[in-house]
Amino acid sequence: MEIMKKYIFPSVFFIALIISGCVSWQKNYGKLKIIPKDQNEITIQNLIEKWDDYHIYSSDQYAGPGFRSPLGIMFDQKNNDTTLVGDRWKKVSDQNTLAEMTERISLNTHFEPWLNEILGPDGRFYGYLYYSYGVVTLKMVGDKKMYIFNLEEPPNEGGYHE
């Protein structure tokens, strides 16, 4: 019993140190918050209609010219002081292309897409992400700039790929 008491304080201290290290590590990462489909405030259709209020990018692992069915679409609000960046995110420059791309996400992933708010580690709003598959990693790379890593491509099971 005496030996257990001797090691309790160092054990608790060590566990607290690990937890505080994990918390500080997460300070640099953003998060996604799913917007329920029954919530009428923001929908993908609203974003398409107000497309000119956003810098819009589509995610594609394919680095060649042109577009194929996107893995996701990122909406970076123009009228705020935050910025979304990432590699292999291609600028979407017109509303018709945007509308077509939102319909084609499920062709590439075989899953129904959903709309998410992109939030910083402090809960600050950065934009929206419309995607349907995989884990998304969001990392702060400046005071008001968030890097969106490439979206995960689902395994090819005879799916549509250009």
Rounded distance between C-alpha atoms, residue 107 and residue 160, angstroms: 6
Is the separation of the CB atoms in 60 and 88 below 8 Å?
yes
Q: What's the pLDDT tens digit per position in 73-110?
A: 999 999 999 999 998 899 998 999 999 999 888 877 78
What's residue 7's pLDDT? 57
Rounded distance between C-alpha atoms, residue 43 and residue 48, angstroms: 9
Q: Where are the alpha helices (DSSP H) in the chain?
A: 2-26, 44-49, 95-109
Give SS3 for 139.
strand
Long-range CB pairs of 121-125, under 8 A, 24+ apart, other chains included: 121/26, 121/27, 121/28, 121/29, 121/30, 121/31, 124/82, 125/77, 125/80, 125/82
Q: What's the pLDDT tens digit per position in 101-158?
A: 998 888 777 888 999 999 999 999 999 999 998 899 999 998 899 999 989 888 775 4
CA angle 29-35-37, nearest 5°? 155
pTM: 0.77
The residues, ordered by sequence, that sit 6+ positions from 80 with a Cβ below 8 Å of its Cβ are 125
Q: How confident is the model at residue 8 (pLDDT cuts 50, 70, 90)?
A: low
